[in-house]
């Protein structure tokens, strides 16, 4: 399925503590619901197709994590927890409720931390797409640290279909520098454990909103068994495999990903509306 042509507006929103966040907005902020899409280490472009497709039904917000793509990052904003609280501030600032937070890779980790801190009940559901954040129970399910591998090797592990893998040999010096800067920012947010918080798994049972864990089955970064363990850690978790996809199911299999989200909404999040 081809991704729709993106139609969005971009603005910078000022949040508490001197933090400004660049946000792409898709669709209309009306009564049709809202989704907040949180990207992983590959940057905000990885969520563009999904945000565009979802905006046909709901208002979609896709922020750029501070420090990515040349955006400013205050020194104090240096952890996943900081990002989680910043995006809760964003929901407060825009007065959004019943929000589905969709996170890919480290974006899924941020989404989980948001739900744990959501004292105002603004989040209605979570969707995690090949998320990281929990410590693997078994060595065989360990998440690969991309900092230990060259970019081409990371791309091979991340995408099932070679056609989706970036051709790094074609990158300009500017593109290489931007990618390197994004990875440095990712490393800051990842902290000492980088891909996980050793205590996060044990806290996830406190999240009571419905959670969809959709997983590209051919992910070489975080395998499907790890994903099933993620889903099982929630009180109300649901695991759905996405075939022929790696670490970015929303890119390689947009149609399957949208179907999984739609089915989740109809059967779990808002079954009364689907009846």
DSSP string across 50-72: HHHHHTTTSEEEEEEPTTGGG--
Strands 123-129 and 99-104: parallel
Residue 46 phi/psi, 5° resolution?
-70, -10
Type and span of the H or E element at 116: helix 106-117
Establish how many alpha carbons lie within 13 A of residue 73's alpha carbon, considering only the half-sphere containing its beta carbon. Answer: 21
Contact, 84 vs 133, CB < 8 A?
no
Domains and CATH numbers, the chain: 9-269 (3.40.50.1820)
Tell me the C-alpha to C-alpha distance, in Å, between residue 112 and each of 71, 136, 230, 243: 24, 16, 10, 24
What single-letter DSSP state applies at residue 105? T
Q: Is the pLDDT of residue 1 over 50?
A: no
pLDDT of residue 140: 83
Measured over the CA atoms of residue 140, residue 146, residue 149 and residue 155, the dihedral's sign is positive
Q: Which residue has the higher pLDDT, 169 or 38?
A: 38
**What is the phi/psi pair of residue 25, to 5°?**
-110, 130
Query: Which pLDDT belongs to residue 66?
Result: 98
53-92 residue pLDDT tens: 999 999 999 999 999 999 999 999 999 999 999 999 999 9
pTM of the model: 0.95
Structure tokens at 89: 């501030």
Residues 172-193: tens digit of each pLDDT: 999 999 999 999 999 999 988 8
Residue 255: pLDDT band (50, 70, 90) is very high
- Under 8 Å between Cβ of 80 and 197: yes
- The CA distance from 34 to 109, in Å, is 19
Record the tokens describing residue 45, joined without a space.
């472009």
C-beta neighbour count of 247 within 10 angstroms: 30
| Closest C-alpha to 124, from 273, 272, 265 | 265
Q: In this predicted model, what pLDDT tens digit does every residue of 91-143 receive, in sequence order? A: 999 999 999 999 999 999 999 999 999 999 999 999 999 999 999 988 888 99
pLDDT (mean) for 47-51: 98
Q: What is the mean pLDDT of residues 10-33?
A: 93
pLDDT in tens, 198-247: 999 999 999 999 999 999 999 999 999 999 999 999 999 999 999 999 99
Q: Which two tokens stand for residue 245?
A: 């996809």
């Amino acid at each position: 399925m081809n991704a729709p042509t993106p139609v969005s507006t971009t603005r910078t929103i000022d949040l508490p503590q001197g933090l400004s966040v660049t946000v792409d907005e898709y669709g209309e902020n009306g009564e049709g619901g809202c989704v907040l899409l949180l990207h992983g280490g590959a940057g905000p472009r990885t969520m563009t197709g999904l945000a565009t497709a979802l905006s046909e039904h709901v208002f979609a917000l896709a922020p750029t994590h501070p420090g990515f793509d040349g955006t400013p990052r205050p020194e104090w904003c240096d952890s996943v927890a900081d990002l989680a609280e910043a995006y809760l501030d964003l929901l407060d600032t825009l007065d959004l409720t019943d929000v589905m937070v969709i996170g890919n890779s480290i974006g899924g980790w941020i989404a989980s931390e948001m739900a744990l801190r959501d004292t105002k009940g603004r989040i209605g559901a979570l969707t995690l797409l090949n998320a990281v954040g929990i410590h693997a129970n078994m060595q065989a399910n360990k998440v690969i640290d991309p900092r230990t591998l060259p970019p081409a090797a990371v791309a091979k592990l991340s995408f099932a279909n070679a056609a989706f893998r970036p051709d790094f040999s074609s990158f300009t010096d500017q593109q290489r520098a931007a990618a390197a800067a994004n990875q440095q920012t990712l490393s800051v947010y990842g902290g000492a454990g980088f891909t996980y918080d050793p205590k996060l798994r044990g806290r996830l049972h406190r999240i009571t909103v419905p959670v969809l864990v959709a997983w590209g089955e051919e992910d070489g970064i975080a395998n499907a068994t790890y994903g099933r363990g993620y889903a099982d850690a929630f009180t109300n978790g649901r695991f759905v495999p996405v075939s022929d996809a790696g670490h970015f199911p929303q890119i390689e299999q947009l149609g399957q990903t949208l179907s999984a989200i739609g089915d989740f909404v109809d059967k779990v999040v808002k079954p009364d509306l689907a009846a």
